[in-house]
Structure formats: C-alpha cells, structure tokens
Structure 1
Amino acid sequence: MSRRTQIRMTPEEVTAFLAEGRVASVATIGPNGRPHVVPLWYVPRGSTLVTWTYGSSQKAKNLRRLAQATVLVEDGESYEELRGVSMECDVELVEDGEQVALIGTELMRRYGGNQEVATAATQFVRLQAPKRVGLVYTPTDVVSWDHRKLGGTY
C-alpha cells in the first residue's frame, strides 16, 4: 500500500478535522493571474464551508471574476504530526443582507467564545452585513493527509 493511501483521511475524518479547524487559507486568482492567499475564519456546513468578507475586498473582486478557490486547513508542528485538507471549490457569493447576517452570526457563535459574546455581537453583525458578502465554498475535489497514521515511520 502506498504512503499516500495510508495517510488519506476518510470522509468522516475530513468532516471532523474541518469542524475542529479554526483558520482556512483561501487562494483566489488575482487580476494579474497570480494567487491571492488570505486566512479566514469559517463555519463548516455539511460538505461546504461558509464565511464572509467585505464586498470591496480583493478576494471578493477575484471571486466575482472567477468563482473558484482553493481552500487549505492544516495542522501540525512537526512532519510526523502534519494533517490537512485541501479543497478545490466552486464559490457562491451571497449578497442577500439577511443571508449575510446569518453567516456573520454563525461566525460569531463559533469564534465568539460563548453565547453571551455571540449575543452581544448581534449589533456588530447587523452593522457589518450591508458591507459584506457571504462566501459558500463547495468542494469539487478534496485531498487530505494525516501523517500521524504512519506512526512515526516513513
């Protein structure tokens, strides 16, 4: 059996890994044809990831031109601990204010630390939603790895 096959995560492991991950590196293609990579907080929704960004951001401009991205969530300090999921995605830009506010609320719940903070952030979300767009990343190809499966051998 190849090492590549040995370290691949199962679909259930991918779902669990994305649920525990905190930051996704998102690559879009800039106007000069080069990758534009930014870190984003995200919320897993089944097989998709959702987030938001300012409507005037470079990533939003890039996605309006080409609604595709590569998303990477990774973890590990040393080689034998490396884990990650890389997804080529089609991206939907959500411009409906209520839907954008829902995404913002989900993000605040996930990253706010507790329900009290998330509730207090409601006003922030309402003020931010008109300036932002939601982003729904739907994977078309997923590659994963978990070097811990090798048990320290290579």
Structure 2
Amino acid sequence: MSRRGQITMTDDEVRAYLAGQKVINVASIGPNGRPHLAPLWYFPHEDGVATWTYGTSQKAKNFRRLPEATVLVEDGDSYEKLRGVSFEADVEIVEDLDEVTRIGTALLQRYAGAKPGDPATAELEAFIAGQAAKRIGLVFRPTKVVSWDHSKLGGTY
C-alpha cells in the first residue's frame, strides 16, 4: 500500500475528526478571481459542515456569485502528528430566518459546551435572535474529500 493510502482516514474517522475540531478555514473566490480565505466556527452537518456569517460579509458575497468552496481543517505540531481533512464543497446559502436561527443555535451551543439537542438558555436565545436577522447560514456539502493522519505511520516515514 502507498504512503498516501496508509494515512488516508476512513469516512468514520473523517466524521470523528470533524466532530473533534473547532475551526475550519474556508476558501471562496473573491471578485478579483483570487482566493478569499476565512476561519470559521462550525458544526458537523450531514457529511459536511455548517456555519453562519453576516449576510453582507465578503464570503457571503463570494458564495452568492459562486457557491463553491474549499474547506480545510488541520492540526498537529510535528510531522508524525499531522492530521487533516480538506474538501471541495458545494455551498448552500440558507436565508430562511427559522433555519438560520437553528444553525446559530447549534453553532453557539457547540462552542458553549452544550450537547446537540440541549435546550438553549434564554440568554442564548435572545442573543441568537438579535444576530439571526443579520446572518445567513452556510452548508458545505463535500464533493471531493482528501484526508491525512500521519499517526497511522507509527513514527516511520
């Protein structure tokens, strides 16, 4: 088996990895044709990820023009610990206020340490209600996935 084959994560490993990380780097194409790169909080959604952003942000404008992205999640501070997932994705823009509110709730609960499905506090609901009208949801659906986990090599190169 090739080294590439040895370090590739299974679908279950990719899902577990995405569930354990906190920040994605998202590349869209700006109006000048150059990549626009932005870090975002996210939560796992179906086989991809979802998040929200201000409806007037550059990335929102870019996705309205071309709803495609490349997403990167990576970690590791030495070669033998490098892990990551990169995927090309179709991007769904969500503008329905109820759905944007659901996305915002799932996102902020994740970063507050709540479990999926836990009821939101009144304070969190009030904050999200104030934010949701200014935001759009973004759902990234992978079309091509590449992954790596160098720990699978057991310290050999």
TM tier, shorter chain?
over 0.9
Counterpart secondary structure, 1:121: helix
TM superposition shift of 1:75: 1.0
Structure 1 residue runs of 5 or longer lacking an equivalent are none
Query: What is the 5 A alignment of 1:31-46?
Result: 31-46=31-46
Identical pairs, percent? 64
Q: Deviations over 1:50-82 (max 9, x none)?
A: 100000000000000000000011111111100
1:136 matched residue in structure 2: 139
How many positions carry a matched residue from both structures?
Answer: 154
**1:58 and 2:58 are equivalent in the alignment:** yes
Does residue 18 of the first structure (1) align with residue 18 of the second (2)? yes
Distance 1:66 1:85 in 2: 22
Q: Deviations over 1:88-111 (max 9, x none)?
A: 000000001110000000011100
- Matches of 2:135 and 2:66, distance apart in 1: 18
- Per the normalisation by structure 2, the TM-score is 0.94
Give the Cα separation in 2 of the matches to 1:22 and 1:101: 20
Name stretches of at least 5 consecutive residues in structure 2 with no aligned partner: none
1:7 match: 7
Question: What TM-score comes out, normalization by structure 1 length?
Answer: 0.96
Q: How does 1:5-154 map to 2 (within 5 A)?
A: 5-114=5-114, 118-119=120-121, 120-154=123-157
Whole-Å Cα distance in 2 between the matches of residues 106 and 113 of structure 1? 11
What amino acid is aligned across from residue 93 of structure 2 in structure 1?
L
| Matches of 2:100 and 2:13, distance apart in 1 | 29
- Structure 1: distance between partners of 2:27 and 2:77: 22
